[in-house]
Amino acid sequence: MARKKDSPQKAALREMMSTYLKDNNVKVRDGRDVNSIMRDMMSVILENALDEEMNEELGYSRYDYRNKETDNRRNGHSQKTMHTSYGDMELDIPRDRKGEFEPQVIKKYQHTVTQDMEEKIISMYAKGMSTADIESHMRELYDIVISDSTISRIMDKILPIVKEWREIPLEDIYAVIFTDAIHYHVRQEGRIVKRAVYIAIGIDMNGRKDVLGMYVGQNESAKFWLSILNWLKNRRVEDILIACVDGLSGFPQAIANLATCFKYPEVVRRLIDTTNAMEGFNRQLRKVTKSKTIFPSDDSLLKMLYLAMMDITKKWTGHRQDWGQIHSQLEIFFEERLAGY
């Protein structure tokens, strides 16, 4: 049996880990090797979080001397052994000259990192959530207080992950691609502006559904849609059998779309029902973002939608039960275009 196709985020993680293992000549032979890698990952995450806390304490980053407004400064690091479910690990804890720094991610007398806390930190660092939610969870679960600005700095690390996700090579051919846009309000230079978030969802020739991309633009336009299609082309998409665009402007146009839809048999019409495919996804996005009426920036909007998308698509496993019937009908309708695949 062939291995299940990775989601875009898992593919990016697989590529990153493959590069790490190759560049460092790491051989994974058994569970002990896995534990060693997990310890290294956790130590990097925790040390980055501690460094961000020190930045917050002093009011400036390590190399940003121009914004220094304190006579306190960094004073190297001390070492601490932490007990984790993956074994003991050594952490470098930043120190300040006056001895006033009280880390919250790893408290002064704390020597154990529970598995629950490990998962929470990894989720915060790699996936993120709203700063208020993270602060609330860390306080309620671990009695740890982390400022909003520190959380925001940590969450900013998600943006390179989003960029990598939007550049992952896609399948050569898709049975169906659904496209739509949803709108949000974003603060820009003291004004509230409307942003269109363009979304593309694809169903590949194995019947698996995935989000192919999400892009923030100024307004919904044919020009921007063209740029997204070119983006998909640059990511190795060579053909789309059926493109579903939910952008009808009136009843006459709606009837003419229906004419296109009804040329396919019922089993294919069910596949291209945008109500189930795109509107369901958008509804779940709105459910996650309903508490945010205005986003502070385009990046903030994109981060939240990306993280919401990751949670939503966790449930997208396998392919449709009727995919065998659908695939047979697609082979009939698109015999020439599928001949080379």
Q: Give per-residue pLDDT as tens, 147-194.
A: 666 666 656 767 888 888 888 899 999 999 888 888 999 998 889 999
Q: Work out the average pLDDT over 231-259.
A: 66
pLDDT of residue 203: 92
pLDDT of residue 177: 87
Instruction: Place 252 in a pLDDT band, splitting at 50, 70 and 90.
Output: very low
The tokens describing 176, both together, are: 């169906």
Q: Give per-residue pLDDT as tens, 82-97.
A: 877 677 888 899 888 8
pLDDT of residue 65: 58
Angle between helices 131-142 and 115-122 (to 10 degrees): 170
Q: Work out the average pLDDT over 233-260.
A: 64
Residue type, position 209, single letter: K
Lowest mean per-residue pLDDT among 30-39, 69-78, 119-128: 119-128
- DSSP letter for each residue of 165-234: HTTS---SEEEEEEEEEEEEEEEETTEEEEEEEEEEEEEETTS-EEEEEEEEESS--HHHHHHHHHHHHH
Q: Is the pLDDT of residue 232 over 80?
A: yes
Mean pLDDT score across all residues of the chain: 77
In contact, 307 and 158? CB cutoff 8 Å? yes
Q: Is the pLDDT of residue 209 over 70?
A: yes
Q: Work out the average pLDDT over 275-304.
A: 83
Measured CA to CA in angstroms, residue 19 lies from 14, 35, 76 at distances of: 9, 18, 31
pLDDT of residue 172: 92
Instruction: Place 249 in a pLDDT band, splitting at 50, 70 and 90.
Output: very low
In contact, 195 and 217? CB cutoff 8 Å? yes
pLDDT of residue 144: 65
Q: Is the pLDDT of residue 307 over 90?
A: no
pLDDT of residue 145: 65
Q: What percent of the chain has pLDDT over 70?
A: 72
For the beta carbon of residue 264, count every other beta carbon within 10 angstroms: 17
pLDDT of residue 258: 40
Q: Is the pLDDT of residue 119 over 70?
A: no
Instruction: Place 38 in a pLDDT band, splitting at 50, 70 and 90.
Output: confident
Lowest mean per-residue pLDDT among 13-17, 61-65, 67-71, 138-142: 61-65
Q: What percent of the chain has pLDDT over 90?
A: 11
Tokens 């396919």 belong to residue = 264
Strand runs labelled E in the chain:
74-84, 87-96, 173-188, 191-204, 209-217, 239-245
